[in-house]
Amino acid sequence: MVAMKLQINGESRDFNSALTLDSLIEQLSMKQDRVAVELNHELVPRGQWSVTSLSEGDRLEIVHFVGGG
């Protein structure tokens, strides 16, 4: 399996080469309805995650919303 490096919230991480944004969020064990994702400085709508392929060197910012009161 070929690995690729992604920058996630400023941290370099290795993943397999066949990733979509959808599968990345799943691998990171995040709830899709609780995160927002910016890919290479562009906000990606949740409806596009399953068709957004990731490539070597992509930079992601993932914001996880936490409820509370």
3-state secondary structure string across 55-69? CCCCEEEEEECCCCC
Residue 20: give its domain's CATH number.
Answer: 3.10.20.30
Q: Give me the mean pLDDT over the 38-65 stretch.
A: 96
Q: Give me the mean pLDDT over the 1-17 stretch.
A: 87
Per-residue pLDDT tens digits for 16-43: 767 999 999 999 999 999 999 999 999 9
- What gap in Å lies between CA 29 and CA 41, rounded to an integer? 23
Burial (CB count within 10 angstroms: exposed 0-12, middle 13-18, buried 19+), residue 24: buried
Confirm whether 47 is domain-assigned.
Answer: yes
Q: Count the domains in the chain.
A: 1
Helices (H), the chain: 21-27
Confirm whether 13 is domain-assigned.
Answer: yes
Are the C-beta atoms of residues 61 and 9 closer than 8 Å to each other? Answer: yes
Confirm whether 57 is domain-assigned.
Answer: yes
Domain that holds residue 9: 3-64
